[in-house]
Amino acid sequence: MILRKIAIAVGVVSVAATCAFAQDPIQTRQAAMKFVGGAAKQAGGMLKGEKPYDAEVALAALTKMNEVASVFANYFPEGSETGGETTVSPKIWEDMAGFQAAVAKFEADTAAAVAAAPADLDAFKAAFGAVGANCGTCHKAYRVSKN
Ligand code: HEC
In which region does residue 82 sit, left (phi positive, over 0), alpha (psi from -120 to 50) or beta (all else)?
Answer: beta
Task: Provide the 10 A C-beta neighbour count for residue 112.
Answer: 14
- What integer is the mean pLDDT of 51-55? 97
Q: Please work out whether the CB of residue 40 comes within 6 Å of at least one atom of ligand 1.
A: yes
Determine the distance separating the centroid of ligand 1 and the alpha carbon of 38, expressed in angstroms.
11
Query: Does ligand 1 come within 6 angstroms of the Cβ of 6?
Result: no
86 C-beta closer than 6 A to ligand 1: yes
Write the pLDDT tens digit of every residue in 63-99.
Answer: 999 999 999 999 999 999 999 999 999 999 999 999 9
In sequence order, what are the residues at sequence separation of 6 or more whose Cβ sits closer than 8 angstroms to the Cβ of residue 23?
none
